[in-house]
């Protein structure tokens, strides 16, 4: 759902390149973007009407619409009992995320948040540095959305460093070029 930059630059190519997946249809209210997706990328069906999209025989939904529409799109998918991969942010606020999670749980369908950055080389290096104690001590952890849906967990970790560690990092940054 959605045929903007994120959808056409990330989601669609990934689906088209994954063996065993078929991109059957797209939902996009904007005619130009919808036409570009169907004609340029060879996607068989494009819809401006969400009900026609859901009735087209799809088996799962990738939500890459603008963030203000994520909740509406996920709730529609829940009504059709379809699994969802939703681009981040999942919702505009925690209450919206809770409604989405509850609807998907009631539908018996999984809800996943698309956040692949955590597997990038730089994110993995940051994780390694944190585990090695290179960025200070962990002072707290809180779960923003919980673990209600399969694969859905957004955790915010607050970290602080001692004054001495901050001085060491500042000195290292200035001697290492930045």
CA gap 91, 99 in Å, rounded = 9
pTM strictly above 0.85: no
pLDDT at 139: 65
**pLDDT(55) > 60:** yes
pLDDT at 87: 94
**pLDDT(96) > 80:** yes
CA dihedral 102, 107, 109, 111 (to 10 degrees): -30
pLDDT at 132: 87
| pLDDT tens digits along 138-159 | 665 544 433 333 333 332 222 3
**pLDDT(38) > 60:** yes
pLDDT at 10: 84
| Residue 76: strand, helix, or coil | helix
Q: 60 CB contacts (<8 Å, ≥6 apart)?
A: 82, 83, 84, 85
Structure tokens that stand for 170 in this block: 């500042």
pLDDT at 115: 78
Phi-psi region of 137 (alpha: psi -120 to 50; beta: other; left: phi over 0): beta
Q: What percent of the chain is predicted at pLDDT more than 90?
A: 57
- Please give the residue that has the higher pLDDT: either 171 or 96: 96
When the pLDDT of each residue in the chain is averaged and rounded to a whole number, the result is: 80
């Amino acid at each position: 759902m959605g045929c903007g930059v994120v959808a056409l630059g990330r989601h669609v190519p990934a689906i088209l390149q994954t063996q065993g997946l078929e991109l059957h249809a797209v939902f996009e209210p904007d005619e130009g973007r919808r036409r570009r997706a169907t004609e340029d990328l060879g996607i068989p069906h494009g819809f401006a009407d969400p009900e026609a999209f859901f009735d087209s025989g799809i088996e799962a939904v990738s939500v890459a619409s603008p963030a203000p529409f994520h909740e509406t799109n996920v709730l529609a998918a829940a009504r059709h009992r379809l699994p969802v991969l939703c681009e981040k942010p999942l919702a505009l606020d925690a209450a919206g995320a809770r409604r989405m999670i509850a609807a998907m749980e009631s539908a018996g369908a999984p809800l996943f948040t698309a956040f692949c950055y955590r597997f990038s080389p730089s994110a993995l290096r940051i994780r390694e540095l944190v585990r090695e104690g290179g960025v200070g001590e962990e002072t707290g952890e809180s779960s923003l959305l919980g673990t209600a849906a399969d694969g859905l967990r957004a955790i915010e970790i607050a970290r602080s460093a001692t004054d001495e560690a901050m001085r060491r990092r500042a000195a290292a940054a200035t001697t290492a070029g930045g």
